[in-house]
């Protein structure tokens, strides 16, 4: 939420702010200011936790030059929502007996949170989460991206993500060979 806009959530943020520096102010690459609960920021982002512990937080807005205002707004929104949500007895995904790591399934509100994002916003958010070392938000965003490609052919995936097919026919054959490295078929 932008600080100077009098929305409900901003009000709440201000209330928390009044309880003396319980928030940190973050500044996006395009100079917009956002306030976020210090506790949530420290808990959800290893990078912000490090900055808070190291005293490198600027009261006038800590510069996050890599993150645009839309992505930063989503990050802050996520932190605030996370702070307000009651963590459910976490659902470990059903792949216990398999080699995929047991990822925590996103909770309902997290699903809704990423579902409403445009593809572009999702891309910016996953990069921001990566930059800020937000493991849980990375989980949620990468889960969403994987959902978008499940069961789709390479062609369909390219269409969804607007990716150009930069393979030549020869390269496809080459990669096919390379991937089959240790095995062959007479």
Per CB under 8 A, residues contacting another protein are: 94-101, 103, 118-120, 123-124, 126-127, 130, 138, 142-143, 145-146, 149-155, 157-158, 161-167, 171-172, 175-176, 179-186
Phi, psi dihedrals of residue 163, rounded to the nearest 5°: -110, 135
Closer to another protein by Cβ: residue 59 or 170: 170
Shortest Cβ distance from residue 54 to another protein (Å)? 24
For residue 69, what are its two tokens? 């205002």
Query: Beta-carbon neighbour count of residue 127 at 10 Å?
Result: 15
Are 25 and 58 in contact by the 8 Å Cβ rule? The answer is yes
Are 53 and 17 in contact by the 8 Å Cβ rule? The answer is no
Closer to another protein by Cβ: residue 53 or 180: 180
Shortest Cβ distance from residue 146 to another protein (Å)? 4
Closer to another protein by Cβ: residue 5 or 176: 176
Characterize the bridge pairing of strands 62-63 and 23-27: parallel
Closer to another protein by Cβ: residue 31 or 151: 151
The end-to-end CA distance of the chain, in Å, is: 63
Shortest Cβ distance from residue 138 to another protein (Å)? 6
Name beta bridge partners: 37: 23
Closer to another protein by Cβ: residue 109 or 167: 167
Shortest Cβ distance from residue 12 to another protein (Å)? 31
Q: How far apart are alpha carbons 73 and 68 in whole angstroms?
A: 9
Shortest Cβ distance from residue 102 to another protein (Å)? 11
Phi, psi dihedrals of residue 33, rounded to the nearest 5°: -100, 140
């Amino acid at each position: 939420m932008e600080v100077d806009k009098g929305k409900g959530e901003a009000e709440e943020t201000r209330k928390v702010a009044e309880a003396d520096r319980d928030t940190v102010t973050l500044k996006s690459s395009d100079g917009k200011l956002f306030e976020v609960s210090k506790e949530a920021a420290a808990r959800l982002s290893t990078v912000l936790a490090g900055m808070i512990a190291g005293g490198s937080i600027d009261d006038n807005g800590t510069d996050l030059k890599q993150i645009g205002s839309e992505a930063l707004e989503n990050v802050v929104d996520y932190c605030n929502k996370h702070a307000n949500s009651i963590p459910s007895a976490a659902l470990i995904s059903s792949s216990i007996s398999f080699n995929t790591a047991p990822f925590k399934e996103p909770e309902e509100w997290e699903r809704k949170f990423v579902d409403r994002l445009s593809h572009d916003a999702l891309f910016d958010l996953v990069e921001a989460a990566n930059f800020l070392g937000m493991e849980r938000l990375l989980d949620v965003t990468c889960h969403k991206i994987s959902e978008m490609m499940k069961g789709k052919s390479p062609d369909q995936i390219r269409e969804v993500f607007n990716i150009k097919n930069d393979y030549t026919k020869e390269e496809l054959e080459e990669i096919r060979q390379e991937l089959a490295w240790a095995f062959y078929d007479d």
